Amino acid sequence: MASGTVETTGRRMSTACVHACPRVDGGRMALQERLGNTSAGVPEALARFSGTEESRDALRRLSIYAGLTDLTSIGLSMAIGYAAWPGHDLWVAMVIVVALWMTALASRGAYDSRRIGVGSEEFKSVFSATVVIFGLVASVAYALDLTTGRQFLVATFLAGLVFLPLGRRMLRIWVFSRRRAGAYLQNTLVIGDGPHCDELVDRLSHDRRAGFEVVRTISGPRAGAAGLDAWLDEVHDEITAHAVDAVALTQTPTINAEVIRRLSWRLEGPSVELLVAPTLGDITGPRLSVRPAAGLPLLHLEEPRLAGPRALVKRAFDLTLSILLLVLLSPFMILIGLAIVLTSRGPVFFVQERVGKGGEIYRLVKFRSMVDGAEQMHQEVLGIGSTTPDQYVADPRITPLGRFLRRWSLDELPQLFNVVAGQMSLVGPRPMLVTELPLLGDADHRRHITMPGLTGLWQVAGRKEVPWDERMQMDLRYVENWSIALDLLIIVKTFKAVATGRGAH
């Protein structure tokens, strides 16, 4: 193996990125002569052999599967629409709507293989295409004063808003399972040094859902034009030798705009994707936007705060869903209260002071799951002088009924009243104990710029099995990147975590 490179196969790879050393085998000139240059500046050998045909075919198949999934969803939506307005000849209208709908989806990038199964852009493209096409149809119908078929169009549109995302979600589940099995992955060459490189390799190697398989890592170029030319040749060598489909650059002192430009020129023509990893850590998505200035694409970073329309949207979402849940679950909550009274002495509810938004103290309400006076037994159970926030799995203070309630997170249901009162949100950072405040670092206090939540990122990641430091990182990640889409995703994953009882103590 050449000095300065590391070969890897998925999860077995070490996450340390190595420093490339100059080659001394004397074969560089021979390699350059063998590669040659095309008129576009792309080495012929690279154009012929870079990437894997199997990988490119797999990505094309993903686009086809997405199209078939959407056609099925559109067909189901139209069946709903026809049921709303039966007995009419709608075949011509159906064909026109299908053609326009699929065209809108394609124009919005819904069949870009890089989006399928990854992130929220896939669902945004499906939603926006549906809204655009039916907005266009409605505008035409209004302009021409067409009244026939309105029931069909409205029912089809509403059904499409349900079936299209649902179909894509089912496709995503299938894609995830295939990627975990090693399919639909792009062989990836990671370039960089230090912790940024380590982090990228670690993330890509341990989470295949994005569709990348790290097969090689090399360091950035050495200083000077000669060093850059030799390094570019080395990159080409690695691409051709390891059937690389994607090249990912991380922050390295020697990788600048000129290096990226020269590398992109070398990759023109062949199907090798060039990716540049940001250096903004966990700041992603809604807070980032491109702002052109003086001919430069500057990244604009929004302030991570919930105010104005964003705060109103989140509050409306919290109120609507929490009131609905309270109405639906109230009979069940009454039964839980009666069971607590009949099985142990003490009050039905456990009330405790927690730290809310802006550091304000509020009283959190839960169903009592411990013996009466459990707080006074805290030091006895955890040890005198203990400041650890973690709990023992077999806490003797928990009642048999309380253990059942905690197993399925039923003890948390009264916190819906805290949500209605405006003290908590459905989704947010974990409600902090007052006694845990001394454990927070300077950055950890930023978790209090928003309301604590009934559920959050670390709850769906493993609940009490997640170490303290990781909990804090996840809470900060949520605060920095809040969106309604993220809240919905966390709520869906919360139901899954509760149903399996994973991580509950």
pLDDT of the residue at 462: 66
Residues 6+ apart with CB under 8 A from 212: 185, 186, 188, 204, 246, 248
| Span 82-133, pLDDT tens digits | 888 776 677 887 888 899 999 999 998 899 888 888 877 888 889 889 988 8
| Side-chain half-sphere exposure of 42, counting CA atoms within 13 A | 18
d(CA 465, CA 194): 29
Is residue 505 situated within a structural domain? no
Encoded amino acid at 262, one letter: R
| Span 395-417, pLDDT tens digits | 788 999 999 999 899 999 999 99
Is residue 42 situated within a structural domain? yes
d(CA 430, CA 231): 47
- 283 — pLDDT class (breaks 50, 70, 90): low
Q: Are residues 127 and 214 in the same domain?
A: no
Question: Is 220 in a helix, a strand, or coil?
Answer: coil
Pick the closest to residue 428 from 418, 438, 437 (CA basis).
418
Q: Are residues 156 and 264 in the same domain?
A: no
pLDDT of the residue at 341: 95
| Span 120-139, pLDDT tens digits | 788 888 988 998 888 888 88
Question: Is 351 in a helix, a strand, or coil?
Answer: strand
pLDDT of the residue at 247: 92
Q: Are residues 272 and 345 in the same domain?
A: no
Considering the chain, what percentage of its residues have pLDDT values greater than 90? 31
Concatenating the DSSP letter of every residue in 110-122 gives TT-TTTTTSTTHH
Encoded amino acid at 423, one letter: Q
Q: Are residues 165 and 235 in the same domain?
A: no
**Spatial contact of 457 and 478, defined as CB atoms under 8 Å apart:** yes
Is the Cα dihedral 253, 13, 5, 232 positive or negative? Answer: negative
Pick the closest to residue 246 from 441, 500, 59 (CA basis).
59
d(CA 166, CA 28): 53
Concatenating the DSSP letter of every residue in 243-275 gives T--EEEE---TT--HHHHHHHHHHTTTTT-EEE
d(CA 176, CA 184): 9
Last residue of a domain, one of 251, 272, 301: 301
d(CA 400, CA 275): 53
Mean pLDDT (whole number) for 379-392:
50
Q: Are residues 142 and 15 in the same domain?
A: no
Max mean pLDDT range (20-29, 218-227, 389-398)? 218-227
pLDDT of the residue at 31: 32
Domain span holding position 128: 56-180
Backbone angles phi, psi at 475, to 5 degrees: -60, -45
- 297 — pLDDT class (breaks 50, 70, 90): low
Encoded amino acid at 433, one letter: L
Residues 6+ apart with CB under 8 A from 332: none
Mean pLDDT (whole number) for 238-258:
86
Last residue of a domain, one of 151, 180, 209: 180
Q: Are residues 323 and 411 in the same domain?
A: yes
Q: What is the pTM of this model?
A: 0.59
| Side-chain half-sphere exposure of 505, counting CA atoms within 13 A | 14
Q: Are residues 327 and 241 in the same domain?
A: no
Counted domains in the chain: 3
| Span 331-363, pLDDT tens digits | 999 999 999 999 999 999 999 999 999 999 999
| Order of strands, sheet of 349-355, starting from the edge strand that comes earlier in the sequence | 361-367, 349-355, 432-433
pLDDT of the residue at 36: 39
Is the Cα dihedral 38, 42, 46, 49 positive or negative? Answer: negative
Mean pLDDT (whole number) for 270-278:
79
Last residue of a domain, one of 301, 321, 355: 301
Pick the closest to residue 486 from 448, 456, 458, 449 (CA basis).
456
